Amino acid sequence: MPATSVIGLQWGDEAKGKFVDVLTDQHDVVCRYLGGNNAGHTVVFDGKTFKLSLLPAGVLHPGKTAVIATGVVLDPAALLNEMDRAEQSMGGPVPPEGTELLISDRAHLIFPWHLAEDAALETDRGDAGQQKIGTTLRGIGPCYRDKAGRTHAVRAGDLLRPDRFRRRVAEVCAFKNRLLGAMTASAGKGDFEPFDADEIADRYLGFAERLGPYLTDTTAYLLNAVDSGKSILFEAAQGSMLDIDHGTFPYVTSSNSSGCGVHPGSGVPERHLDTMLGVVKAYSTRVGGGPFVTELEDETGDRIRTRGNEFGTVTGRPRRCGWFDAVAARYAARLSGVDALAVSLLDVLDGFEEVKICEAYELNGQRTTDFPSHADDLAEATPVYRTLPGWSEDTTGCRTYADLPANARTYLETVAEVLGTELKYVGVGPDRAQTIRV
């Protein structure tokens, strides 16, 4: 059973969706297993642009099964909006005829109070003079917090039991109104408008009329799929450096966004995976707060941002840009057990006279290739660069590895060597056709 996992090795936005889209044809099932509508990727094919957030790329391919598995936190309003938008772009129903969409009944639901908590906690951090995490304000962290805390969590399967759901929403809503009311009052932030439990329960049960048919036990489905020899493509969200346990804490998301998250998020043991494809951009970007060793706050950074259109798909925020951080990416590749590499957005580096790879950090007077476990140390680290010659040619029209300029190939091979992985794909533009198989 060829199961493949596609993982971002940086801080998200590595263009994983593009490689997932390309690999989808080779798999029966495409599974998204973590995060929520904080993620966003753009898939371009047949001249149409699809902005996906929660929907796995497989949902655009007739005959596939697209799974939103247990580790995802689900904002049903956001999912339905996304399905409506995809239908408009597709010019037909999503999922299309012959395509199956399955959503885990164990996935946790995001409610309006999670968005309010996300905003209040970020503001509080700012008011206290701390650097904000810079979340997407989609309620992701507060929903995962409730999941871990258990006492005030509601799962998608509860939507199928309307009486229980109403009771549960009333209990949780009462508590959240007390909590948010007290937070607002103590921060002197004016009046808090309490949430109306009945209105929310009605609205969510309305969503359930559309989503109900897709809700199921996806863990059982995926394990049966494994047993019956179906091939599964696991589509990660965010990037390894945003992993809650192994990333640049606290400037991370609230789930295991490295390769470590496949098993808990989907229920499918990692021994079933035969390829762990790590995806990196040809340079580094990060949105939100937190240390970023190779950040370029200069003309070069601006040039990368403009050429790479480095503005968030979800929030539109400008992304922080810098040279390729091989110390971070190598750590992520080892952590995730990556055995194949895809480098995206190579074309963004076209026309640079020279290109740089950060191959070590200088920290406390010592040179190291180990990634620091504490954000304070990371903030102190300075990059040690290997400088390579750039290339003046436009790579966007290259369709084979041999078409690429020699200096671009040397750059790619250096990245793969430093990461200790085999280079499999190179992206030279947003279209499906602009993916080179090495």
Question: 267, 278, 288, 427: which one contacts ligand IMP (CB under 6 A)?
Answer: 288
For residue 340, give the nearest of 281, 260, 420, 400 by alpha carbon.
Answer: 420
Q: Least distance in Å: CB of 410 to ligand IMP? A: 29
- Exactly one of 253, 258, 336, 435 binds ligand IMP (CB under 6 A); that residue is 253
Task: Give me the 258-287 binding string for ligand IMP, x by CB under 6 A, dash otherwise.
Answer: -----------------------------x
| Residues 18/288, Cβ–Cβ less than 8 Å | no
Beta bridge partners of 73: 108
Nearer to ligand IMP, 135 or 407 (CB): 135
Q: Is 13 a catalytic residue?
A: yes
Residues contacting 151, CB < 8 A, separation 6+: none
Cα gap 398→309, rounded to integer Å: 20
296, 320 Cβ separation under 8 angstroms = no
Minimum CB separation of residue 242 from ligand IMP in Å reads 5
Query: 115 to 154, contacts with ligand IMP by CB under 6 A?
Result: 133-136, 138, 140-141
**144 vs 352, which CB is nearer to ligand IMP?**
144
In the complex, the smallest distance separating the C-beta of residue 189 from ligand IMP, rounded to whole angstroms, is 21
Nearer to ligand IMP, 135 or 258 (CB): 135
> Which of 5, 6, 13, 372 is close enough to bind ligand IMP by CB under 6 A?
13
Choices 38-46, 71-79, 388-396, 423-431 (CB under 6 A): range interacting with ligand IMP: 38-46
For residues 291, 294, 300 and 302, what is the CA-based torsion angle, rounded to 10 degrees? -30
Of 22-30, 37-45, 68-76, 414-422, the segment contacting ligand IMP by CB under 6 A is 37-45
Q: Which is nearer to ligand IMP, 69 or 252 (CB)?
A: 252
- Name, in order, each residue with C-beta under 8 angstroms of 346's C-beta and a sequence gap of 6 or more: 282, 395, 404, 408, 411, 412, 426, 427, 428
Q: What angle do CA 275, 280, 283 make, to 5 degrees?
A: 165
Q: Rounded to whole angstroms, how far apart are CA atoms 172 and 175?
A: 5
Q: How many CB atoms lie within 10 A of CB 397?
A: 11
Residue in 68, 242, 341, 343 binding ligand IMP, rule: CB under 6 A: 242
DSSP state of 333: H
Q: Spell out, one character per residue from 45 to 74, where the chain touches ligand IMP: x when CB under 6 A holds, - when not.
A: ------------------------------
Q: Any residues with CB less than 8 A from the CB of 245 and at least 6 apart, and which?
A: 256, 260
Which residue in 21, 27, 41, 75 is the catalytic one? Answer: 41
38 lies in the site for ligand IMP, by CB under 6 A: yes
Element (H, E) at 362: strand 354-363
Peptide bond before residue 405 is cis, with ω within 30 degrees of 0: no
Nearest approach, Cβ of residue 143 and ligand IMP (Å)? 9
| Shortest Å distance, C-beta 313 to ligand IMP | 8
Considering only 9-17, 21-29, 103-111, 158-166, which stretch makes contact with ligand IMP by CB under 6 A? 9-17
Q: Which residue of 30, 39, 120, 342 would you call a contact of ligand IMP, by CB under 6 A? A: 39
Binding residues for ligand IMP, rule CB under 6 A, total: 21
Q: Least CB distance from residue 134 to ligand IMP, whole Å?
A: 4
CB 107 within 8 A of CB 70: yes
Phi-psi label, residue 347: left if phi above 0, alpha if psi -120 to 50, beta otherwise: alpha
Nearer to ligand IMP, 225 or 343 (CB): 343
In DSSP notation, 120-166 reads HHHHHHHHTTPPP----SSSHHHHHHHHHH-TT--BGGGGGSHHHHH
Instruction: Output the smallest distance, CB 397 to ligand IMP, in A.
Output: 28
Structure tokens, 142 = 């507060």
The residue of the chain with the least Cβ separation from ligand IMP equals: 288
Q: Which of 13, 28, 158, 347 is catalytic?
A: 13
Tokens 């750039």 — which residue?
390
Query: What angle (nearest 5°) sits at the alpha carbon of residue 55, between those of residues 36 and 78?
Result: 55
The least CB distance from residue 320 to ligand IMP, in Å, is: 10
Q: Give the residue numbers marked as catalytic.
A: 13, 41
Residues at the interface with ligand IMP (CB under 6 A)? 11-13, 38-40, 133-136, 138, 140-141, 237-238, 242, 251, 253-254, 287-288
